[in-house]
Amino acid sequence: MTDLKYNNELKQKYAHLSRTVNEEFINIHPIQRGGILTPEAYKSLISYGDGYSLCDNCLKGRIDKIENPPVVDFLKDVATYFNIDNVMPTAAARKSKQIAMKVLSEKFPKRKTVIIDSLSHYTTYLAIETNNLRVKEVPNTGYPEFELKSEDFRAAIEQLQKDEGELPLLVVLTHVDYKYGNYNNPKPIGEICKEFKIPFLLNAAYSGGILPIDCNKSHIDFLACSGHKSMAASGPIGLLGFKDKYYDDVMVHSKIEGNLTNKSFPNKICTFMGCPPVYGAPLITLMASFPTIVKRTQEKYVKQEAEKANYVIDNIQKIKDLKVLGKLPKKHPLTNIETPCFEKVAETHSRRGFFLREEFKERGILGLLPGISKEIKFNTFNLSWDQVKYFTQVFLEIAEKYHLI
C-alpha cells in the first residue's frame, strides 16, 4: 500500500472546496460571465451530479442516440438554432477545432496550412500544432482597434497559393476574440472561402450562446462553441457543428477487430472515442439552459447586453489616461481597457499592482487579475442594470480616490 494516510489532515485539506464568488460578489471575470448556470441548469445539475448520470438509459451505446433525457432532440434543436446540418458535443471548443482540422487533414492530405486571424485564441494554434500543420496569420489593423479586414483573408489565401501551390486546409475566424472582445462578421469571409472552395470554421467559443449565429447564411462549414464559456453550462462541454458534406468524414465508425475474439465496434465513432466526454452534468446543464440561450440571443436582449458594456465605457471615459481598446461601440460585452492611470498609482502604492483588484474587491467586485493595474479586462454580460451601474460607480469612485478625475 501507499504512504498516503486517511486522517483528519487529509479530510480537512479537501473539506472546504467552496466558492463564494458569485454569491457574495459581482463577478466581472471575462471568461466567467457566459458560463454562469441558469436556474434550470442548476436544478438539472443537482439531479445529474453523479458520475455518468446521463447514461442510465443508454440503449444504443452512443450518447448522441440517447432519447431519455432528450439528447437526440437537443442535438437537432441546437443544429437548427445555429442553422447548420449537424451538431455533436465535444470536450470543449478547442477539441472541436482540433477535430475539424484532423478530419480535413485526412480528406486533403496535401494541404498543410491553416489560415487564422491574428486575434486567435491560443487553442487555435494548439489545434494546428497537434495536427502537425502550419499556421498563417491574417493581420489586424493594430492599436487601438485591432480590426480584421475581410480582404486580408483573400490576400492571405492568394499569397499561400502563390507560395505553396496549394489551398489552405481551412480558414478559421474568431467570431469574438478573447482579448479585445471584438466582433467579427463571418459573412464576408465565408463568402471568400466559398469562392475559393476552402472550408471555413467559425470559432464561436466567446459568442455562441451570447450572440446569434447563422451558419448557413455565413457559409460556415464548421462551428466550434463552448458550453462552459458562453452557453450557461457546467464545464467542460463544447459543440462541433458541421455541414452534411463532412458528415462521413467526422462520423468515422470504428473498424478495428480483435485478432482472437473478433470483437468489433462498428457503432462507435473513432473521432469521439466512442462517446465524447460530456456524460453527465455538462450535457444535461447545457440542455437545461438551451431555451434561455435561444431567448438571450434574440436581438433585443443582445442589444441590451451591448448597451450595458457601452454604458460602462461611456462613463469611465472621463478618467484621465484610460483607453478602451478594440472596436467601439461594443457588440460583445468583453472589454479591454488600458489603464496607465492606475499603473502610475501602483508605482507608489504600498500594495503595488495589487491595489486595484483590492479596491474593487473591497467594494464587492471580483474578477480582475491580481497584481495587474495597467490593463483591465471585464465582462458585463448578464449583469443586471443595477449591477452595471454599481460597477461603473465603483470604477469612478476608485478613480476619484486617486485623483484621476
Beta bridge partners of 372: none
Name which of residues 26 to 85 contact a copy of itself (CB under 8 A).
27, 29, 31-32, 34-37, 40-53, 55-56, 59, 69-70, 73-74, 77, 80-83
Nearest to a copy of itself of 31, 396 (CB atom) = 31
Please report the sign of the dihedral spanned by the C-alpha atoms of residue 59, residue 64, residue 69, residue 75: negative
142 is a site residue for a copy of itself (CB under 8 A)? no
Q: Provide the grid cell at 150.
A: 475581410
Q: Provide the grid cell at 52.
A: 455518468
351: amino acid identity, one letter: R
* H or E segment to which residue 204 belongs: strand 200-204
Nearest CA-CA partner of 112 in 75, 62, 165: 165
- Which region, judged by CB under 8 A, interacts with a copy of itself, from 227-235, 330-338, 373-381, 395-403? 227-235
Beta carbon of residue 342, minimum distance to a copy of itself (angstroms, whole number): 19
The DSSP code sequence of 68-130 is TTTHHHHHHHHHHHHT-SEEEEES-HHHHHHHHHHHHHHHSTT--EEEEETT--HHHHHHHHH
**Binding pattern to a copy of itself, positions 165-204, x when CB under 8 A?**
----------------------------------------
212 is a site residue for a copy of itself (CB under 8 A)? yes
Q: Which of 258, 347, 350, 403 binds a copy of itself (CB under 8 A)?
A: 258
**Binding pattern to a copy of itself, positions 280-299, x when CB under 8 A?**
xxx-xx-xx-xx--xx--xx
Beta carbon of residue 347, minimum distance to a copy of itself (angstroms, whole number): 22
Q: Which of 86, 184, 234, 335 binds a copy of itself (CB under 8 A)?
A: 234
- Let me know: does 149 contact 161? Beta carbons within 8 Å: no
Nearest to a copy of itself of 127, 319 (CB atom) = 127
Q: Which of 206, 279, 355, 360 binds a copy of itself (CB under 8 A)?
A: 279
* H or E segment to which residue 26 belongs: strand 26-27
- Let me know: does 315 contact 392? Beta carbons within 8 Å: yes
Q: Which of 232, 240, 345, 346 binds a copy of itself (CB under 8 A)?
A: 232
Nearest CA-CA partner of 212 in 81, 382, 333: 81
19 is a site residue for a copy of itself (CB under 8 A)? yes
* SS3 assignment, position 290: helix
Nearest to a copy of itself of 45, 324 (CB atom) = 45
Nearest CA-CA partner of 315 in 386, 226, 247, 393: 393
Beta carbon of residue 255, minimum distance to a copy of itself (angstroms, whole number): 7
236 is a site residue for a copy of itself (CB under 8 A)? yes
Q: Which of 254, 349, 361, 387 binds a copy of itself (CB under 8 A)?
A: 254
* H or E segment to which residue 157 belongs: helix 150-164
Name which of residues 302 to 361 contact a copy of itself (CB under 8 A).
none
141 is a site residue for a copy of itself (CB under 8 A)? no
Beta carbon of residue 118, minimum distance to a copy of itself (angstroms, whole number): 5
